[in-house]
Amino acid sequence: MGTDIKFAVIHSFFDNPLEVWVKWNLPFLPRAGEDVNGWVWIDENLRREDIMDNLTTEGKNNLAQWDGDLSDWLYEVGIAAGTVSSVSYYEKKDKKGEIYATVWLKEDE
């Protein structure tokens, strides 16, 4: 069954957090301080065009020099920003009474 959750990845390569929706099928959410493997949130449908407007100059340069698939580059980003900084809960705007969680992942300092 699962529930929809949003991962918000805070990394110096992005102007704003990279937001990725996933179907969560585990009985628990990760907690603050825990690490999340990047493959959990990397969406195979995420295309280079989808993230280009959100990349910093550093991020654009890094991605341009990357010799591999976008998903592998995102995995490297996920390694650097794999620690849960917080989990927030929100009510769905289109479905009163239903909530979703946003798991905030922050780049290690």
pLDDT of amino acid 45: 76
- Output 72 or 109, whichever has higher pLDDT: 72
Give the domain extent around 91.
3-106
Give Cα 76 to chain centroid, integer Å: 12
Distance CA 96, CA 19 (A): 22
Overall number of domains in the chain: 1
Q: pLDDT per residue over 48-93, tens digit each? A: 998 999 999 999 999 999 999 999 999 999 999 999 999 999 998 8
pLDDT computed for residue 65 by the predictor: 97
User: How much is the pTM?
Assistant: 0.90
Q: Pick the closest to residue 103 from 2, 1, 22, 15 (CA basis).
A: 22
